[in-house]
Homo-oligomer: A and B are copies of this chain.
Amino acid sequence: MSSPAPGLREQRKARTRKAIQEHALRLFLANGYDATTVDQIASAAGVSHMTFFRYFPSKEAVVENDEYDPLLVDLIAAQPASLGPLAVLRTAVVDGIREVCATDREALLARTRLVLTTPALRGRQWRNGDATQRLFADALAARADGEVTFALRVLASAVLGALSTALTTWVEGDGVEDLPSLVDRGFDALAHLDS
């Protein structure tokens, strides 16, 4: 699972990847996503057009970061067996968000704002949401040694909906509100859908 070997080659690759991603985000935030071309990003990162696409399958992919998913899966697996699936997701997601906010708050805010204000990226984000939903449902089923049921999938979808609503509200308020609290309120709303 860990990197094969910290050889010179691997180091260079990691550095190049990071450079491309950082320059891309910088240019997107400065000039807008659509107004930034892949050629500009590649030039800024000191690589060619083709190398960009060897590191990222598309211009959209450079924005997303799946690094949070494993964190959440771990948190789900770590919940006590006595909790029901909704409580599990609530604790795991709120804790996960809290942790990310503690270290990456500004970056998360900037990136989420970028995604929400760029139509092409919004679509991409939701496509990821589909994968994340499966991830959640799988993790919940594995924790209970059961199968992925229809109800579990609905639960995972609903939670993602609440999470995305919380993120949207957070960005619309320019990050003034506390994101973990907003997410928690989202779970409250889920728990009392008929009010």
Contact assessment for B190 and A154 in the assembled complex, using a CB-CB cutoff below 8 Å: yes
Known: A86-B194, A191-B193. Is A162-B157 also a contact (CB below 8 A)?
yes
Minimum distance in angstroms from A86 CB to a CB of chain B: 4
Q: Is the CB of B84 within 8 A of A195?
A: yes
Contact partner of A194 (CB less than 8 A), chosen from B153, B168, B191, B195, is B191
Tell whether A154 pairs with B194 under 8 Å between CB atoms, given A126-B127, A129-B126: no
What 12 additional pairs, Cβ within 8 angstroms, besides A150-B182, A154-B162, A156-B161?
Answer: A86-B194, A122-B130, A123-B126, A126-B129, A150-B165, A150-B169, A151-B195, A153-B165, A157-B161, A158-B158, A158-B193, A160-B161
30 contacts between A and B (CB under 8 A): A85-B195, A86-B193, A86-B194, A87-B194, A119-B127, A122-B130, A123-B124, A126-B127, A126-B130, A150-B165, A150-B182, A150-B185, A150-B186, A150-B189, A151-B189, A151-B195, A153-B165, A154-B162, A154-B165, A154-B190, A155-B189, A156-B161, A157-B158, A157-B162, A158-B161, A158-B190, A158-B193, A161-B161, A190-B193, A191-B194
